[in-house]
Structures are given as C-alpha cells and as structure tokens.
A = this chain, B = another copy of it.
Amino acid sequence: MSDRLARVALSRLSEPGDLRLRRVVRELGAVRVHDLLREEHDVRGVYADVAERLRGLDPERELEQAAGRGIRFVCPGDAEWPDQLAALDAAGDVNGRGGEPLGLWVRGPLDLAAVTDQALAVVGSRSATTYGADVAGQIACEAAGAGFAVVSGAAFGIDVAAHRGALAGRGPTVAVLACGVDRAYPAAHRTVLDYIAGTGLLVSELPPGCAPTRLRFLSRNRVIAALSRGTVVVEAAVRSGALNTAHWANRMGRIVMGVPGPVTSAPSAGVHDLIRRGEAQLVTGGADVLELVAAVGDHLAPVPRGEERVDDRLSLAVRQVLDAVPVARPAGETSIARTAGLSVHAVEQALRRLRGAGLVERVDHGWRRTPDTVSSPEAPAS
C-alpha cells in the first residue's frame, strides 16, 4: 500500500487535526501506522479497535470515485502540497487539535501549491453587518487584483463576501470547508461553491461525503490560517470562530490584521480586542493589507493626506524609523528611538510594520535592515 492510500484511509478514519495520530504518522510513516492499526495493534493508544473499520475501507476505490466527481487527494510529497502547511506542526494545539493535515481533498482547476504561494485569508463573523461585508469584499477584491489568492471558509457573512470580492477582482479564491468538498454547506451557498469549484479551489481535510461539526470548523480554521501569508479579520464578535483563525495565524508567526468598526457594534468587539491586545494590526482597507503582506516594497499604503499642515510631518514617522535602523550592526529599540527622535512606543510599532513589509529584521537583541532591501544610493538604477 502506498503512502497516499494509507493517508486516504487514515483520513477517512480520523477526525481532522488529530494531533496524536499526526505524531505517530510523522514518526512511523502513514503506511506503517495504517498497517499496525489494521492488524489490531495499539499504536500508543491511537484508535484502538479500528481494525475492522480499516479493513472495510478501500482507499483506491475511494480515490477513483472521488476522481469521478472531480476531486483529488493531495498530500505531503506531492508537488501540489503547500509547503507552508508544515508550520502547523510547530504551532501547538487547541484542545488536542493541530498539526499538518494528513492530506487535503481538493476540487477545482487550480494547483493548490501554486495558488496559495501568495494567499491572504479574509475571515469574520457569520452575522456580519453590511458594513463588514462591504469592507471584506473590497479588501478581497483589491488583494485579488494585486495577485493574491483569497482564502476563506465559505460561511455566511464575511467569508462569502470575501470569496465574492475575490471573484469580482478576477482573482483565484480558495474555500476551505469543514465538510466534504462535494457537499454544499451552507446549502444556500451551493451556487457560489460550484462557481468556486469551477474557477478556484474547494479544499477540505475531510473526505467526500462528510458533514460539518463544530470541532471540524475549529480544525478547518487552522488550515485557512496556515495556507495564508496573512489573515484579515473583518468583523468578529467576542466568541467568533474568526478569532480562532487569527489565533492560529499568530501561532505560526503569520501577519494578523483587523478591520475596526464602530465600538457600538458587537460584531466589531472581537476585532477591537485583538488590536488592543496586540494580536492584530489595524488595517483600514486593501492598501494597508497589501502593505503588510506583500513582498518587500511591492505595495506601500498611501498615507492619507489633507491639505499640507503642520502635523503632516507625523506621517513621516515610519520612514524616520526606517532611516534610523542600521544596515550592518543591529541596534536596540531605545537606540533607534534616539536616532529617529521618536518615542520608543512609536518606534516599536513602526518596526513591526517595517518587519511586516520585510524591510527590517530582528536579530539577536536588535534590529537591522533586511539585507536585500537596502539600495545603495551610488548604484545606478538598472
């Protein structure tokens, strides 16, 4: 039996994000774990008494049937497997769930690795306001226009607004589902899901036919975060699943962004809380988002400007900090603040933005310019 077939069988047997299974697979290999389980061996307490179920499975036939419905199984080792999912193995767990997926069931014409090479997650509340849905759609549209794949969960509210925005921006969009990619959930989204399956990708850890459950939604969120370079939370009430996605993204060191809203609006409370706690950076639209997630220097958010005024100089703060960061020997924040003539507080924030844009890096106990981003004033433009 091949590694792929063993993974297909284990994928049918297990719940997504089962960390104990993931660990023994990493140690022993999928084939060996499959065979041990099938021979009724207890693999460190993972899935005892499943031999009969395993023997009843026919992963080869399962792959054939899936292929007949335009569904393929992608797993580590495949060219289409996105490298960035491996970050999940070091991202810990939530209630025992976590780790790189055994594999992903994929439906759609695009290459998963290629399309998520530059991907942005846009997630948020199911019970979004029109304000939130509008902003999510607009950010997704601008990200798509700038060459980003938009990843989300196809749920009501912010998720579907993000997918639709990406489609409007003529960019690829990836819906990561908590059920089989042959199912329409929510049913009201059948048309948009079919459209995404025809132009983008539907993705799930769960084999075809599986129904969504609350735990499957939570496991799904980690895949959304792991596929994406950054995650934008548009509206999220205090207990929203979108905060769970942001949490996973933070654990993997990805960029987490939050769109503010009225402090009187419950769907914005979770986002404000993320920003207050330093777990998300405030963004006001696509330009801010692209500045944070884009490759070095690709996108720089326009500084909002009124007429020229005395305090316009403030908008230079980030540039001042960049100028104060040394090229060679790293300097601490206090030293940079002194050079820039700014408060340590402002410098810390500016450094975080500059790091997000890839222009500075933290080394040892200080900061320096990211080597390839420093242009020599003497060098002629090529």
Residues of chain A at the chain B interface (Cβ within 8 Å): 94-95, 131, 134-135, 218, 237-239, 243-244, 247, 250, 253, 259-264, 268-270, 272-273, 275-279, 281-285, 288, 303-307, 309-312, 314-315, 317-318, 332, 334, 343-350, 352-353, 362, 365
Contact = CB atoms under 8 A, between A and B. Distances in A.
Nearest to A304: B238
Contact of A272 (B260, B273, B307, B347): B260
Contact of A275 (B262, B275, B347): B275
Given A218-B310, A260-B263, A278-B349, 17 more contacts: A131-B262, A238-B304, A239-B306, A239-B311, A244-B311, A260-B260, A260-B275, A261-B262, A261-B263, A263-B284, A269-B304, A275-B275, A276-B282, A276-B283, A276-B284, A278-B346, A279-B349
6 contacts: A239-B309, A259-B263, A273-B304, A276-B282, A278-B317, A278-B345
A320 to B, nearest CB: 11
B95 A346 contact: no
A305 B238 contact: yes
Contacts of A263: 135, 259-261, 284-285
A307 to B, nearest CB: 6
B239 A277 contact: no
B349 A247 contact: no
Contacts of A269: 284, 304
Nearest to A243: B311
A311 B94 contact: yes
Contacts of A315: 273, 277
A275 B282 contact: yes
Contact of A247 (B218, B311, B332, B334): B311
A309 B310 CA distance: 48
